[in-house]
Amino acid sequence: MLREIDNFYLQKTEPAKSCLHALRQFVLKYDRNITEAWKYKMPFFCYKGKMFCYIWLNKKTHQPYLGIVEGRNIDHPMLIAGERSRMKIMMIDPAKDLPVQTIDTIFRKAIQLYK
Mean pLDDT value across residues 65-69: 97
**The pLDDT of residue 58 is above 90:** yes
CA–CA dist 100, 11 (Å, integer): 25
Domain ranges of the chain: 4-113
The rounded distance, in Å, linking the Cα atoms of 20 and 5 is: 12
pLDDT number for residue 84 = 86
Q: CA torsion angle for 45, 56, 95, 107 (degrees, to 10)?
A: -30
Instruction: Read off the pTM.
Output: 0.93
| CATH fold of 4-113 | Aspartate Aminotransferase, domain 1 (3.90.1150)
Give yes or no for residue 85 having a pLDDT over 90: no
Look at residue 101 and tell me whether its pLDDT is greater than 90: yes
pLDDT tens by residue, 4-31:
999 999 999 999 999 999 999 999 999 9
